[in-house]
Amino acid sequence: MRINREILTGYLLEDTERGDLTSDVVVPDIDSYAEIVSKDDGIICGLEETAFLFGYAGAKVVLTASDGERVSAGRKLMEIRGKAKAILLVERTALNIIGRMSGIATKTDIIVRKARSVNPKIRIAGTRKTSPGARAIDKKAIVAGGGDPHRYDLSDAFLIKDNHLAVCPAADAIRKAKEYSAYKKIEIEAESPADALADAKAGADIIMLDNMTPEKVSAALGLITDAGLRGRVCIEISGGIDAKNFEDYAALDIDAISMGALTHSVRNFDVSLNMKPGVKNFTVKI
């Protein structure tokens, strides 16, 4: 998944539109060398985006780790060589990107591995509960952590939710969606086991069991299975799912859990950039 370059330069512009006062005044026009180092353990992500931004500013980069790789604290991730002012211009934007993306990727990886230990087929998916302007990097980070990105935006698939159902009955909504396109998945939110069964009978491809207890999820699965429809629908669980309770749901015969917590409550992954005196050669990979 490649991030639009205009999005990335927009992140840099947010920090540099009026220049870098400190570096412009106090930093001499010299060549320099820097390293980015991990200070946490987990899945690293955002190196590709960061390398682009340093290159955009005129610096040269060698990556010593790869996006999606598991790293330990102290691991060197990147070497940067160029004008000191160029490196310092990008520093904070670069660390913000790596920190956020790696935090999401690491959290996703932990949840995916735990969920699949009780249900090997399950998918852990993100949602559109992303930080404004950061959806592209948030979704890429979910994938790096082994998760499913779910919908990128409102055009990706039909997702008929409670506010849609407030103005259009479920059966009518599913029928209209099917008439419009044979190529877009139709997902619908169900708030009770009876609703889930009705939606399956109406032809939904994916049924999102929203804010249901594990007991109600089991009841919905039983109704759909007894009707002979379980093999034709994907069952997704969502609403109030977090790192404390997801295993209770993962143990059920479901296909996916979508979790806004992957992106709306991010613990930043700690990385640092260290400027080194003078200029040295890059690491040579053999």
Alpha-carbon gap, residue 81 to 87, rounded angstroms: 8
Residue 92 annotated as binding site: yes
Residue 116 annotated as binding site: no
Q: Which residues of 34-59 are buried (b: 16+ CB within 10 A; e: fewer)?
A: bbbbbebebbbbbbbbbbbbbeebeb
> How distant, in Å, are the alpha carbons of 72, 144, 206 from that of 245?
27, 23, 22
Alpha-carbon gap, residue 212 to 203, rounded angstroms: 21
Tokens, residue 254: 């479901």
- Catalytic residue (choose from 39, 76, 85, 129): 129
Residue 203 annotated as binding site: no
Residue 46 annotated as binding site: no
Residue 121 annotated as binding site: no
Nearest one of 141, 136, 146, 151 to 100, comparing CA atoms: 141
Residue 68 annotated as binding site: no
Whether 178 is catalytic: no
Residue 55 annotated as binding site: no
Residue 261 annotated as binding site: yes
Residue 238 annotated as binding site: yes
Residue 128 annotated as binding site: yes
Alpha-carbon gap, residue 242 to 128, rounded angstroms: 16
For residue 248, give every residue at least 6 positions away whose Cβ sits within 8 Å of its Cβ, in sequence order, or none. 214
Structure-token match 């994907």, residue found: 234
Residue 129 annotated as binding site: yes
Nearest one of 124, 160, 138, 122 to 46, comparing CA atoms: 138
Binding residue numbers: 92, 127-129, 151, 161, 189, 210, 238-240, 259-261
Tell me which residues are annotated as active site: 129
Known binding site for substrate: residues?
Answer: 92, 127-129, 151, 161, 189, 210, 238-240, 259-261
